[in-house]
A and B are shown apart, each in its own frame.
Chain A
């Protein structure tokens, strides 16, 4: 076993353990159907958390994710319902706007040397504010294209369903793994998060990398907003409140180091799945209340951060 994959193994085993525990306790838990539902219900979170992974790998943080999801949903639904746009150009516009939004946050962070968390906090206010200015009420989406997309999918054995959202999330996952580990940008992101100064000395273009990372995160959030709208069939300015925290939690539980420079996109997928399993477990149980989800996620966060400290501390001593 390679030592650098240890946190990834811990995350994957924890997921398997939780899923097995549920399967032993409840009759229908251990099925492909429940497993696939984890993807269907959390597809948007998987996409947003993958974007967040890149930001955290680079040593930053993006608090604007949740409100970017809401904003893209609101823009899409208003363009379609009030201006009669076809969904596809609306999607394209939202993705471009999202990328520009993230790029400007990245530019402010880099050129004015401001802390990522306060800049993206302002971005969070901005996106949330803009979406409530565009529409305060929830805008329903009615379009045959949406019905087609929502219906699209493949029947798997055991009544499981591989739907369009899951397919999008899996494609994004594959592309993100390629981007992180097999491209030049990926290497630069790891380098920037590991040690910005050394990275700069080794010729990593800090400005371009920082801006790309935040642009990517907001692009992913806008895409997550599109997938979220397949799920809710509406755009609402107060949707997806606090998703940024879920995304950060998923990244940390997925084994990515919060100080940057170390972690894997695949871990983030399992981070989301672990949170999904906890939620499913609680809803199967029926007697536990839903707020236990938050407490369990908080505890998991704590355990994984403590594990990170332990591993990092040991690494420094052995050096």
Chain B
């Protein structure tokens, strides 16, 4: 099969998917039991399920981040928004709210509010995205602390904890949540014209404005969606440990989310996006972490390997680097 003859869509997805497969195969070579999945009491157990489950928060963040990056922006505040949403839910439970819907609704509302602030600053104030979301990244953890007066709140609430540790159809509930979110956002983007608008704004905001797309509203919307996704991820994290820790919840996850989107092949300049590939990106990050653990490399090498991975991926995306590679190939042939 000729690489050049593939449709552009397939060609773009080949690299991330191949990367994930290579990582998974490496894991099998190191630990043969990696692919085995057991069923106990109607629940699936195994390393693969583990990878999916652990990747869930980053995958959720990556869904929101993909849309933000597609408009040519970036959302640095998602880690802090996770902490805020977790703190709000925990605060509601501790103050005696029993209804799961109210607790989850409260968390989502907090995420939506944070996203609205970001989107308003970027869309209507015209502030650079890195800077606008930096404000909430810095202040957000303070706000999260403030919600529960600086305490690490622990709680017990079966309905809410289901978000983090529950099982549905034999799968851990976070995985189900990712699937639901993915399907909903994908439908919203691809079954309506919204996806095209988002890509249009990212490719050229002023041109989109002239053909009648409300570019400000589109930007506001993607940051709101990103806030909602971050809130979901934050509630999963809080439900998982049965408490909210404003200092550590979601710490550095904004970087993982950006990395997932970049691995998925999206350009940071905005334009075309693929939610599916971003989720593959999130899985690659988690699989890489597991590979590092399985191969017996001390975990302290984790960050160094991640840094090397980012640089390689960035370089591969750079046209200039590809040209240089091409020249080397020609030179060897000659």
Does B318 sit at the interface, judged by CB under 8 A? Answer: yes
**Known contacts A108-B311, A121-B258, A128-B303: A113-B320 contact under CB 8 Å:** yes
B131 contacts A258, C-beta separation under 8 Å: yes
Known: A129-B303, A249-B138. 14 other contacts (CB 8 A): A108-B314, A115-B269, A118-B262, A119-B311, A123-B307, A125-B310, A129-B306, A132-B303, A289-B149, A293-B142, A294-B142, A301-B135, A305-B131, A309-B127
Docked Cα-Cα span, A15 to B311, in Å, equals 41
Docked Cα-Cα span, A117 to B131, in Å, equals 11
Min CB distance B219 to A, Å, is 15
List B contacts of A65 (CB < 8 A).
Answer: none
Most A Cβ at <10 Å: residue of B140, B246, B302, B311: B311
> What are 9 A-to-B residue pairs whose CB atoms are below 8 Å?
A108-B314, A113-B318, A113-B320, A258-B131, A297-B138, A297-B139, A302-B135, A305-B127, A309-B126
Does B321 sit at the interface, judged by CB under 8 A? Answer: yes
Question: Which of A115, A126, A299, A309 contacts B304 (CB under 8 A)?
Answer: A126
Most B Cβ at <10 Å: residue of A108, A123, A298: A298
B131 contacts A125, C-beta separation under 8 Å: no
Does A201 sit at the interface, judged by CB under 8 A? Answer: no
**A-side binding surface: helix, strand, loop or mixed?**
helix
Does A61 sit at the interface, judged by CB under 8 A? Answer: yes
B300 contacts A111, C-beta separation under 8 Å: no
Per-residue interface assignment for chain B, residues 272 to 294, with 1 indicating a CB less than 8 Å from any chain A CB and 0 otherwise: 00000000000000000000000
Does B31 sit at the interface, judged by CB under 8 A? Answer: no
Chain B residue nearest to A135 (CB atoms) is B300
Chain B residues packing against A (C-beta within 8 Å):
74, 121, 125-128, 130-132, 134-143, 145-146, 149-150, 246, 255, 258, 262, 268-269, 300-308, 310-311, 314-315, 318-321
Does A92 sit at the interface, judged by CB under 8 A? Answer: no
List B contacts of A111 (CB < 8 A).
Answer: 320
A305 contacts B138, C-beta separation under 8 Å: no
List B contacts of A245 (CB < 8 A).
Answer: 134, 137-138
List A contacts of B303 (CB < 8 A).
Answer: 125-126, 128-129, 132
A115 contacts B268, C-beta separation under 8 Å: yes
A305 contacts B135, C-beta separation under 8 Å: yes
B126 contacts A295, C-beta separation under 8 Å: no
B134 contacts A295, C-beta separation under 8 Å: no
Docked Cα-Cα span, A153 to B18, in Å, equals 61
Docked Cα-Cα span, A217 to B25, in Å, equals 41
B136 contacts A298, C-beta separation under 8 Å: yes
Min CB distance A248 to B, Å, is 7
**B-side binding surface: helix, strand, loop or mixed?**
helix
List B contacts of A252 (CB < 8 A).
Answer: 131
List A contacts of B321 (CB < 8 A).
Answer: 112
**Known contacts A112-B320, A118-B268, A259-B128: A301-B138 contact under CB 8 Å:** yes
Question: Which of A117, A295, A309 contacts B139 (CB under 8 A)?
Answer: A295
List A contacts of B262 (CB < 8 A).
Answer: 118
B150 contacts A289, C-beta separation under 8 Å: yes
A125 contacts B306, C-beta separation under 8 Å: yes
List B contacts of A112 (CB < 8 A).
Answer: 314-315, 318, 320-321
A-B pairs with the 4 shortest C-beta distances? Answer: A298-B139, A129-B303, A294-B142, A129-B304
A121 contacts B255, C-beta separation under 8 Å: yes
List A contacts of B302 (CB < 8 A).
Answer: 129
Per-residue interface assignment for chain A, residues 109 to 141, with 1 indicating a CB less than 8 Å from any chain B CB and 0 otherwise: 001111101110111011011101100100000
Does A152 sit at the interface, judged by CB under 8 A? Answer: no
Docked Cα-Cα span, A63 to B76, in Å, equals 12
Chain A residue nearest to B262 (CB atoms) is A118
Min CB distance B330 to A, Å, is 20
Does A93 sit at the interface, judged by CB under 8 A? Answer: no
Docked Cα-Cα span, A132 to B302, in Å, equals 10
Docked Cα-Cα span, A119 to B313, in Å, equals 11
Docked Cα-Cα span, A61 to B128, in Å, equals 12
Does A156 sit at the interface, judged by CB under 8 A? Answer: no
Does A83 sit at the interface, judged by CB under 8 A? Answer: no
